[in-house]
Amino acid sequence: MAHRFSSMEGVGWKTHVLVGSAAAILLYGAYEQYRFRRWSKTLDGPSVAVPFIGSIVEMVKNPYEFWEKQRLFNPDGLSWNSIVGQFMVMSTNTKITRKIFSHNGEDSFRLFLHPNGWKILGEHNIAFKHGPEHRALRKSFLSLFTKPALSVYLSLQQKLIREHIAQWIANKEFAEYRIKLRDLNLITSQTVFVGPYLTTDEARAEFCHNYLLLTEGFLSFPLALPGTGLWNAVKARHKIVAVLQQAAHDAKARMAGGANPECLLDFWAQRINEELAEAARTKTEAGVHCSDWEMGNTLMDFLFASQDASTASLTWCAYFMCERPDILAKVREEQQRVRPNDEPLTYEMIEKELHYTRAVVKEILRFRPPAVMVPAIAMVDFPLTPTYTVPKGTLVVPSIWSACMQGFPEPEKFDPDRMMPDRQEDVTYSKNFLTFGVGPHMCVGREYAINHLVAFLSLFATQCDAARQISATSHEIKYLPTIYPGDCILYLNASQQPATN
């Protein structure tokens, strides 16, 4: 009988634990809903947030559909939702979005980028820096995007683009060009940024493999357990930074030896060597960014920032040239006029002569901004409007897409002529043209990115004729995590355009 009493006592204890745990979960769920209701009472959004997980399942299942639905809660203002129990506010108002971008620090916002962003990129990544350390780092980039540097990059870019287009023509088959353009962009970014410091084909292949694992982590569920996409992405980042750290060390030594710059890292190493020499002369401490490890982290950010965004824009270039043969014809006419014998592209040519080709690129960047949003975390209670203060800890999502679709005349129309010198809508409506951001974290590689796209469009238009295979999803938009057309299945032939003399 004593044994039976003991067993009943054990069952009763377990029951109390289960009941208590269930009650605690219910109470926390109710408290979460109360907080969300209090914080969102003046905002549009879902009628109810799923306790604890919020809308994470919907976001992972179909990211583009989720974010588009969120945008439409309030197309020109603020809306709310929750992601894994975290309160989220989205801005679709250009003025509010610019305010968010323009404030960065412990007294306002810190970039978040993505639920997996800090884990994958690491807290030392330039995207998450702010204050004097961040300003000193950006100042060290001044020599990276000058005319001489951009001219060196352009020669590398067009060489690789020509080689890849020739390979694609030789394939003689329909293929998904998002993948091919991704591979082109990977090798271009590596060559332009790191140049001779990835010394073998095996090293490049391993680097590409790890980089793809890193980017795939942004499409993974935010749970870093062994074998998961997020886990693999974090491990890949450590390997990438180790390679880039060694490259930074080698570049400093090579530039100190008097070699000519061959890539972005060389131009940066020259600048860093100057800063180190000045610190030694004045007996002061050099900036944190001068260490090999910090340079490796920053190079990874350059690669990350250029890779997905540029691949998306390259894909949209190919997409719109197939969709709009009238625009393609005008690009070709300009190319024939400016470089009738397939002359190499030059910095001056892109800046001063290829006006229409450059206008097409700018309109693609406005009409389909690759990064449609740049999430941040509110570090304090922060007034977004005179009537709404976002609570500390909120995930704040400023919409670049919305800004680019406001202000401009007929913003839903794809119209490259708006970017021509006689209209200059990119200047007139510059406050809305936020593809490259604004404020402390505005993209430093804007001209590099535009030149890359102009070079690709120039050569794609003149080196090949493309046939496109249309499917049921071709005209949809896919989020990967930058945006792409539903597919871009092409067959390339050598161009049949007559050369002019």
Mean pLDDT by 10 residues, the chain (501 residues): 52 66 68 86 90 82 90 96 92 97 94 79 81 89 94 97 97 95 93 90 85 82 83 90 94 96 96 95 93 92 85 97 97 98 97 97 98 94 97 96 97 98 97 95 93 98 96 92 94 78 42
Alpha-carbon distances of 430 from 115, 309, 435, 441, rounded to whole Å: 29, 20, 10, 16
Cα separation, 236 vs 230, in Å, equals 10
∠ CA 107-40-35 to the nearest 5 degrees? 80
Residue 90 confidence (pLDDT) = 97
Asked, as a colleague might, if the bond just before 481 is cis with ω within 30 of 0, I would say: yes
DSSP 187-201: HHHHHHHHGGGS-SH
Angle (CA) 80 83 88, round 5°? 30
CA angle (456, 459, 463) in 5-degree steps: 140
**How buried is 155 (Cβ within 10 angstroms: 0-12 exposed, 13-18 middle, 19+ buried)?**
middle
The pLDDT of residue 26 is 66
Distance CA 12, CA 14 (A): 5
Q: How far is CA 20 from CA 31, 124, 364, in A?
A: 16, 41, 57
Cα dihedral across residues 391, 404, 320, 170: positive or negative: negative
Does the pTM exceed 0.75? Answer: yes
Q: Which residue in this structure is represented by tokens 């490796």?
A: 296
Q: Give Cα 103 distance to the centre of its chain.
A: 20
Instruction: Write down the pLDDT at residue 5.
Output: 47
Which pLDDT score is estimated for 27? 73
